[in-house]
Chains A and B, each alone.
Chain A
């Protein structure tokens, strides 16, 4: 990787811009920073984190994300070209000595394709539809734990729990383990690298990794259906991939399944609390509005705000001369606010049509769990609208992530509402019932080719 980037280089003239997604005030100033970047230079060069490009314009992000001259590869052992994957700062720049490749998100084809093809049949719209009664039961139980009290923390008591339990179920991990996974999966994202709490968070994170590794080996010995079984069956060039690569894939599935949907739900419920008339209209007209509202919340809150790429060959894209080895940040969140594509981009319009948001990414790395995410979000939202229609979030108790550089998330979202009656069993009893359901009905099996063609 070339590191001799001179900021005086001609190709960077007029494109210099100070940009730091991890700055404490980034969340607050996101809209104005985006506006300035899009007006001045939709592809800018910033010197932060070793120097990298920032793509903020919709068209520019589109072209870069779909270019064959960009790589997602994370080559931390320097066996190929030493590329640093999809995070900026890279693990090395964050001071992390050992880094695992972030699954197939940090691979290029054909390696990446082997994993995607193995997992698609578990995550297609038809496959996810089978899980709706299961999701409804977890949501019901989470709400039942709180419904008589008139108080809930939407993140701690629901939005953390439901995606975690469902993700484990789809993977083939026992549901009762959700707590081992939940805290580390979220805390490793929202804890800034220099925080004194990081050491404690990393201990939990390593326990989670070891549990994943054990589950993987156990399922290899005694197969049971789910994503882990599918990952165990992947061959790259006819070979079983290195164990660390497989663990990285499982971590990617945990990261993708847990924190992102939680973030979308937290932000959306907070917004609906501040806009009670819109909330009432959404509940009343959900038949026609739920889909467009979901896409609009995705566009506006962009739970995963962007990904990095490495330029893999000298090329010109969107009028910029890129050199092999250049790092580029593709901001889905900023592309989603481009006024040339979205009318009134900084306004939430629950009826918005033609909503070409990039919150699931673009191209071959587009989120493989988008159907699952949409379904889980919608079910949580509908249950809340039905059972606590007058909820009010407490802004004083609301805690956003310290850094939204990785996930635009909410840590705590306390709310009050008019108490109501319980409808069924509590969470732990419900999880036992659902575990038995998974085992008996083969819910975690893939949808087989041709099943829907009869």
Chain B
């Protein structure tokens, strides 16, 4: 039973971690929180749903792959738009302004989807091979396995992207000191936009996984995971990439264990109770908060 709860928690944690990474990346670079991050997963899930519906007759892994890539691309575009519309115009304004514009974007996106596709649950057809392997008495469905692998893969590639590439260096430099980075000839606008694209893509990937895992998509599906991802980012230290990964997995595990060993009634109470404790006793998060110092 413990192993099963562990696997449940890890799957959930992987999804939370991807959303948390989006928050943390954007916070690292512009020191602002993008509350529309949860909606990226909603946009991702719905575009995957649309692509899957279009390619319905085709069999094999192709539709799934196409759906995944399309949803990442679409979310990336939405990410660019969010940066242009909600953040760039208020860059000189107090931070509260950007917080409010991003909340506005979040509500706007939810309502566009609600009006456009309706407010009920939309189901994903079971495109993924059903079946499972048994690991020491615990069941891991193929889908859970795929989610875990993909989440780890995305996190590793992000780590490489940030620490080993030119783009990563420009992001870190921008996070460290905007003005100095600009003086050093780094195109900080481009670094910021690209950060939004990467963050949106991670959110969309989480959304597609979420949609496939639970089999449903709904216009407000991004809200709760968004808040959980935000919690996870704070848990690990806002602006810290490895912290976000750690925070996401830790939150997923805590939820699974709380619901599994204490009571399902208190699942969210635990998740957010921990958030309050962390904020009170270790406001910089478990792993500190600097993106630039990694």
A and B: bona fide binding partners: no
